[in-house]
């Protein structure tokens, strides 16, 4: 049925966002990686994050070692998550 086809072809918010980035920017542009890493930081789980890290890592500029690229991207994602967490700390005073 049509509904089954729509459901079968549905994509996750993570996939949708990455495809939107890939349509606007190229992997050789810094802005691509800034947006991609920020989007990856929103992954709902480590498994989801890994899935997309391994998909994007071969595109990382100058990559000859995919595992090293995954590690570099993961480090960037974790740094963004830490920044967001610190910024959203409810114990921080509001000015």
Residue 63's pLDDT band (cuts 50, 70, 90):
confident
Q: In the prediction, which pLDDT does 55 show?
A: 95
Q: What angle do CA 9, 11, 17 make, to 5 degrees?
A: 145
Is pLDDT larger for residue 1 or for residue 20? 20
41-45, 66-70, 91-95: least confidently modelled range: 91-95
Query: Mean pLDDT of all residues in the chain?
Result: 87
Q: In the prediction, which pLDDT does 87 show?
A: 80
* Mean pLDDT along residues 57-84: 94
> Hey, is 60 helix, strand or coil?
coil
Q: In the prediction, which pLDDT does 95 show?
A: 36
Q: How far apart, in Å, do the first and last CA atoms of the chain sit?
A: 55
């Amino acid at each position: 049925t049509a509904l089954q086809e729509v459901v079968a072809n549905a994509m996750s918010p993570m996939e949708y966002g990455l495809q939107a980035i890939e349509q606007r920017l190229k992997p050789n542009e810094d802005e691509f990686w800034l947006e991609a890493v920020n989007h990856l930081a929103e992954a709902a789980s480590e498994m989801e994050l890994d899935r997309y890290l391994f998909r994007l890592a071969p595109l990382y500029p100058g990559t000859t070692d995919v595992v090293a690229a995954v590690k570099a991207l993961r480090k960037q994602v974790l740094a963004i998550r830490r920044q967001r967490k610190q910024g959203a700390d409810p114990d921080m005073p509001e000015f």
